[in-house]
Amino acid sequence: MSRKLSLLVWHRVEDLIATTAEETIRNRHEQGQKLETLAREEHWRFTFDGNAFPARLDDLVSRSRLFVNPNKHAFRIVDEPEDGRTHAGAIVRVRNREDIEGATAMHSLRALAGTGDLTDVVFETVWFLRLAPSVEPEDVASLVESFAVTHTRHDGLLVNPHFQDWSLTVVPGTQGARA
Amino acid sequence: MGIIGVIQFPGVNCEVETARSIRGLGYRAEVVRWNQSEGLLDRYAGFILPGGFSYQDRVRAGVIAAREPIVETLCEAAERGMPILGICNGAQILVEAGLVPGKTNRVEAALAPNRNGVRTGYSCQWVWLRADGSNSFLANTLTDGAVIPMPMAHAEGRFVSRDPAVFDEFAERGQIPLRYCEPDGTIATEWPSLPNGALQAAAAVSNPAGNVVAMMPHPERAAYLHQVPDWVPVWGDRKRALVNGDPTGLFEAGPGAKILEAFCLAVERGVQ
């Protein structure tokens, strides 16, 4: 039976991509001042059979340099990615429709691990948005979507729907900055 | 004739050679910083967005620059009919700004990561381009079916849309002025002739009016014969012949000069 593990990668130094995105939304979006913080992680979801792959995953991640640069990244391997990070009001997951990064990682990992246990790798960029306290809970989803999804040059920044899929999760009890 | 403004966003790196190539054709060009937005439409008669990595390609190539105030000025210039050429990262900015394809005021396409079944990420190589039913200023120097070689260098150069059929419409309307092809002009269907998997093998896309063109290959890197590798048919032969004769001929126009000259002629003729 197939099992899954997720690798969560984040910056332990300043994430300049997240900083630039945050500043651009705040300064260019007409409601940008309602964005308090924006953080980013990279999530890799592995599907595999057997026990050989999970036993080697931590070592593969540490040594392969495929997923982390030890000078700037930290990582954690979990059964399921979490949607409940306490600082987030909403989470936007972005995936390229043709997941070239995932396919490339699977190809490389299979060769490195020397096992056919690995059957799928999916890559996502995950954005964590915390909004201003003034944002009403019922407005969170539409506001986050307008921050995230590019329809015109005046709105969303994080997803171009012409080649990327996305999902939005409003974290229960953390709408705005009230949590 | 008016001056051509070559816009330098933070992180682009082709502005100097682009301006030099324009000057080499006998036209006037100046490098304009991205935060210098006042009076641009009075001083300049056309704009080029050169290649490079604006804002380090953070989030997506071109998307941060597309939010800069100067882009609003470019939109006004486009509406006035002023010629605008985006090269590589400049093309990515025009697409993320919605200036190209420009059917509506919305972002109607993307330049997605290359997909060619062979390699991922950044790729650079010489490709062949076919002029194809253009409604744009490129028709000033390129007749339908003309084939020219040019270098490409990008990681995110695949013209796509959520609805692939819109690229069929663009092709019918002459909004795909350059397509990747084989040396004999046959439209490319696979790597290496099609380096990125673009819909309709699009190497360039224009707006409906034809005064704004976004192209991924680099004409400024093929503006002179000395920039063309020896092995490129016809052009390389011409270069080798000149090396054996008068070396100053190496500074004769290369294939990319046709693209830049087409733009300059549009600028010279005024708004379209």
Average pLDDT for residues A127-146, to the nearest whole number?
A: 94
Show which residues of B are catalytic. 88, 218, 220
Average pLDDT for residues B213-238, to the nearest whole number?
A: 95
Comparing A1 with B68, the larger pLDDT belongs to B68
Any idea which of A81-90, A109-118, B13-22 has the lowest mean pLDDT? A81-90
Inter-residue contact B138 to B262 (CB < 8 Å): yes
| Percent helix, percent strand, percent coil in chain B, to nearest 5 | 35, 25, 40
**pLDDT score for B119:** 79
**pLDDT score for B243:** 78
**pLDDT score for A176:** 46
pLDDT at position A144 over 80: yes
The reply to whether A99 falls in a domain is: yes
Q: What is the mean pLDDT of chain A?
A: 89
**pLDDT score for B188:** 97
Query: Which residues, numbered 133 to 162 in chain A, qualify as contacts with chain B under a Cβ-Cβ cut-off of 8 Å?
Result: 150-153, 157-158, 160-162
Contact across the interface for B59 and A152, Cβ inside 8 Å: no
Contact across the interface for A160 and B98, Cβ inside 8 Å: no
Contact across the interface for A100 and B120, Cβ inside 8 Å: yes
Q: Which residue's structure tokens are 């604006």?
A: B54
CATH classification of the domain holding A154:
3.30.1280.10
Contact across the interface for B106 and A162, Cβ inside 8 Å: no
Shortest distance between the Cα of A174 and any Cα of chain B, in A, equals 26
- Give me the number of domains chain A comprises: 1
Comparing A173 with B240, the larger pLDDT belongs to B240
Shortest distance between the Cα of B250 and any Cα of chain A, in A, equals 41
The reply to whether A29 falls in a domain is: yes
Q: Which residues pair with A149 in a beta bridge?
A: A159
Average pLDDT for residues B78-87, to the nearest whole number?
A: 97
CA-nearest residue to A158 within chain B is B59
**pLDDT score for A177:** 41
At CB < 8 Å, which residues of chain B contact A? 55-56, 58-60, 63-64, 66-67, 71, 96-98, 105-110, 112-113, 115, 120, 158, 160-162
Model pLDDT for residues B115-133, shown as the tens digit of each residue: 988 878 899 999 999 999 8
What is the domain extent for residue A120?
3-170
Comparing B87 with A118, the larger pLDDT belongs to B87
- Give me the number of domains chain B comprises: 1
Average pLDDT for residues B54-80, to the nearest whole number?
A: 97
Shortest distance between the Cα of A78 and any Cα of chain B, in A, equals 26
CA-nearest residue to A149 within chain B is B107
Contact across the interface for A153 and B67, Cβ inside 8 Å: yes
Model pLDDT for residues B152-200, shown as the tens digit of each residue: 999 999 999 999 999 999 999 999 999 999 999 999 999 999 999 999 9
The reply to whether A179 falls in a domain is: no
CA distances from A115 to A4, A61, A102, A110, B109 (A): 16, 15, 17, 6, 40
CA distances from A108 to A76, A114, B223 (A): 20, 10, 40
Helix residue spans in A114-149 (DSSP H): 140-148
Model pLDDT for residues A100-134, shown as the tens digit of each residue: 999 989 988 888 877 678 899 999 999 999 999 99
Other residues' Cβ atoms within 10 Å of the Cβ of residue A19:
15
Task: Select the residue of A17, A24, A160 nearest B67 (Cβ to Cβ).
Answer: A24
What is the domain extent for residue B37?
3-269
pLDDT at position B272 over 60: no
Average pLDDT for residues B44-49, to the nearest whole number?
A: 98
Query: How confident is residue B9, by pLDDT bands cut at 50, 70 and 90?
Result: very high
Helix residue spans in chain A (DSSP H): 16-28, 52-64, 100-113, 140-148
Inter-residue contact B225 to B193 (CB < 8 Å): no
A163 touches chain B (CB under 8 A): yes
Closest C-alpha to B206, from B151, B258, B262, B152: B262
Query: How far apart are the C-alpha atoms of A77 and A113, rounded to whole Å?
Result: 17
pLDDT at position A25 over 60: yes
Query: How far apart are the C-alpha atoms of B246 and A60, rounded to whole Å?
Result: 58
pLDDT at position B37 over 80: no
**pLDDT score for A109:** 87
What tokens were used for B25? 């054709």
Q: Which residue's structure tokens are 């936007």?
A: A92
- Interface ipTM > 0.95: no
Average pLDDT for residues B2-20, to the nearest whole number?
A: 97
**pLDDT score for A46:** 93
CATH classification of the domain holding B199:
3.40.50.880
Chain A interface, mutation test: which of B59, B95, B163, most A Cβ atoms within 10 Å?
Answer: B59
Comparing A113 with B106, the larger pLDDT belongs to B106
Q: What is the mean pLDDT of chain B?
A: 95
Closest C-alpha to A44, from A106, A115, A88, A116: A106
**pLDDT score for A82:** 67
Contact across the interface for B109 and A162, Cβ inside 8 Å: yes
